[in-house]
Structure 1
């Protein structure tokens, strides 16, 4: 097994402290000198560890104030996790989300695999419609493990303050650090076609997304169906 470097070890320790609740959402990390002394490493080693956490969106630096545990505010969610815009548009709008159904179920084979559960494990299945400019453009089907979200209710989900990811983070300590997505062409089902103002069988884009936590644990499995008549999937990669 390849040995990890000093900064990687520090990064792992900070990550574990965040997961275990030592630091709360929006809380500042200790000053660099204090932190480096705790881990018995140089300031340079500490900074390298924190730099990686910043690049992964787990912590953020605020000029003149320090380094803080990242919060899922609306701006971060829009630009990091929502990738749908009008054709040839140069900006994004935050979608309006409507809850269609919230059901208790047992995980099928695909859900169990994606969420690293045993098939038949208890899950929540949620269906949302997302609208832009008054038009439904996406149908989201979410699956969550009941073990991870044991007290979630339809009322709590529907009447949450902020976004879905903010709910996960604020109420359950489940912070989505990144997502893994795969896109494929598909055909609109009868129900999705009705919601998306399409004819059954018309082409759609299927976005299959796993939302991953700070330690790459699967938090949410989501299949999104996108009407591409006036909107498109947008992604920007840095060099």
Structure 2
């Protein structure tokens, strides 16, 4: 078994505290000197551990105020998890989302693999239409493990304050900290063509995303269909 370095052990301890809820979303971590003393490590070791948590989007530094547990406000959604832009406009626009359908079903083979649940387990299936500047540009098919979201209703989903990820975090304690995505070209079916105002079998982009929590467990499986006539998928890698 690979031995953890000192800063990796510190990172692991902080992560465990976050999972247990010692530091709720939006709350500041203890001051560096206090946390370093508690964990019996140097300031340098602590900072290296926190640097990695910041890089992973789990905590955020606020100039002159300290380090806080990340929460899903509109800015975080837009710059960390939303990657659709007009190809002819160099800016990001906050999306508007409408629910097209909401219901319970049983997980198929793909959904069970992506969510780490048994095939046939109860799941929520949600279809949303995403608008940018009043134009429907993307359709999302979302699958959620019912065990994680036991009392979810369409009314809760429709009347949520903020983003879908904010709903997961604030109502159910399910915090998305990163996503794994795969992109592939495809053709729009009849329903997709109607919603996206495309001719039947027009080319589209399919984005297949697993949203993960701090322990790398799957929270959400989502398949998005993007109209690429005037919009494109955008991602910025920072090293």
TM-score category, normalised to shorter length = over 0.9
Match in the other structure for 1:57: 57
- With normalisation by structure 1, the TM-score equals 0.98
Correspondence list, 1:1-239, <5 A: 1-239=1-239
SS in 1 for 2:88: coil
SS in 2 for 1:3: coil
CA–CA distance in structure 1, aligned partners of residues 134 and 74 of structure 2: 19
Alpha-carbon offset, residue 215 of structure 1: 1.3
CA–CA distance in structure 1, aligned partners of residues 28 and 238 of structure 2: 27
CA–CA distance in structure 1, aligned partners of residues 63 and 71 of structure 2: 17
SS in 1 for 2:144: strand
Alpha-carbon offset, residue 165 of structure 1: 0.4
SS in 2 for 1:89: coil
CA–CA distance in structure 2, aligned partners of residues 232 and 64 of structure 1: 37
Q: Is the 8 A contact 2:123 2:145 kept in 1?
A: yes
Q: Is the 8 A contact 2:59 2:70 kept in 1?
A: yes
Alpha-carbon offset, residue 236 of structure 1: 1.4
Aligned residues: 239
Alpha-carbon offset, residue 72 of structure 1: 0.6
SS in 1 for 2:38: helix
Segments of 5+ residues of structure 1 without an aligned counterpart are none
SS in 2 for 1:41: coil
SS in 1 for 2:91: coil
SS in 1 for 2:10: helix
Segments of 5+ residues of structure 2 without an aligned counterpart are none
Q: Could you report, residue by residue, the CA deviation over 1:118-165 in whole angstroms, capped at 9, with x for unpaired residues?
A: 101111000000011111100000000011111111111110000000
Return structure 1 stretches of 4+ with deviation > 2 angstroms: none
SS in 1 for 2:101: strand
CA–CA distance in structure 1, aligned partners of residues 66 and 116 of structure 2: 36
Q: Could you report, residue by residue, the CA deviation over 1:86-106 in whole angstroms, capped at 9, with x for unpaired residues?
A: 113211101110001110011
Alpha-carbon offset, residue 238 of structure 1: 2.0
SS in 2 for 1:34: helix
CA–CA distance in structure 2, aligned partners of residues 201 and 116 of structure 1: 32
RMSD: 0.9
SS in 1 for 2:210: strand
CA–CA distance in structure 1, aligned partners of residues 19 and 73 of structure 2: 19
